[in-house]
Amino acid sequence: MAAVTVNGTSQPVDGDHGAAPDPIGRAQRWSLGMVLATFSIFLVVMGGQFAIASLAGLAGAPVLSKLREAIPVNAHEAEDLLAAKQGELKWRESGESAIDSGLARLLIAESLPADAKTRAHLVSAAVIDLKQGLLATPLSGRGWARLAYGLAALEGWSPAAQTALQFSIAAAPFEPSLTPFRLRMGFQAWPTLDARGRAAVLQQVRYAAKLDLRALAALAGEEHASPVVRVALRDDPHVLAAFERLRAKSENTR
């Protein structure tokens, strides 16, 4: 490589042609181009998979919408939801889709007779789905609540089921759509709960009293849980008195 003097300074030139040297080089440019091309193909493929997964999951959207509005769904709708979410999971891993898949299995199991052989199998599969989903979305109050329900259905209010219920409340303590469901489980699990578990249920009782005291009174009557509600509301005598009136009125109309 020769050098020429320009304005008093020496600058390198390439060979006899006087061309400036290539700082990257042909081989490096080719490698960089291959990397960029491969990355572009990767983005296209991933975008396509995302689109396919999204389309697969659309079939379950109407069922999920009904569930969010506390509208009951039948077994066929639950099967549609399960098929949609399983189709979505074939194309991409999704914690929410796995949780929805577990929910669908629980709904199908609930539609079967209590002594049906496939019921326990469905609940077990639902628990697997829910655990998988919660690994990806550990702050899903909905996922933990469904896992608590599934575990309780399989093994009663075991320590694992109680922990799942507590995690659900801790993850989303002020979630109106989950509160009645979690309270029903909390009332049923009350005799086995430790102090921390009971404190979590009492918090849900106080929140439920603010949301809809009449609905809380009805649920407490169904689950024979008025003593639990009284403990939760003892520091709010006005709300407690209103609860007692609603319970008395309910008892008198029987």
Q: What confidence tier does 248 reach under pLDDT thresholds 50, 70, 90?
A: very high
pLDDT at 14 (0 to 100): 43
Residue 23 has pLDDT above 60, yes or no: no
Number of domains observed in the structure of the chain: 1
Contacts of 122 (CB under 8 A, 6+ apart): 105, 106, 108, 109, 112
Range from 33-42, 67-76, 183-192 carrying the lowest mean pLDDT: 33-42
* Mean pLDDT along residues 123-152: 97
Residue 210 has pLDDT above 50, yes or no: yes
Tell me the angle at which helices 117-136 and 141-155 cross, rounded to the nearest 10 degrees: 150
The answer to whether 47 and 73 have CB atoms below 8 angstroms apart is: no
The total number of residues shown for the chain amounts to 254
The answer to whether residue 126 is domain-embedded is no
The answer to whether residue 223 is domain-embedded is yes
* Mean pLDDT along residues 3-14: 43
The answer to whether residue 74 is domain-embedded is no
**Which pTM value belongs to this model?**
0.75
The answer to whether residue 181 is domain-embedded is yes
* Mean pLDDT along residues 205-210: 98
The answer to whether residue 180 is domain-embedded is yes
Q: Which of 188, 45, 4 is nearest to 180 (CA)?
A: 188
Residue 49 has pLDDT above 90, yes or no: no
pLDDT at 87 (0 to 100): 86
The answer to whether residue 132 is domain-embedded is no
Tally of CB atoms within 10 A around 9: 8
The answer to whether 73 and 66 have CB atoms below 8 angstroms apart is: yes
Each residue's pLDDT tens digit, 72-115: 889 999 999 999 988 887 777 888 999 999 999 999 999 999 88
Contacts of 167 (CB under 8 A, 6+ apart): 144
C-alpha distances out from residue 191 to 158, 169, 197, 222, 225, Å = 12, 18, 10, 16, 11
**Direct distance between the N- and C-terminal alpha carbons of the chain, in angstroms, rounded to an integer:** 104
The answer to whether residue 153 is domain-embedded is no
Range of the domain at 180: 173-254
The answer to whether residue 28 is domain-embedded is no
Q: What confidence tier does 203 reach under pLDDT thresholds 50, 70, 90?
A: very high
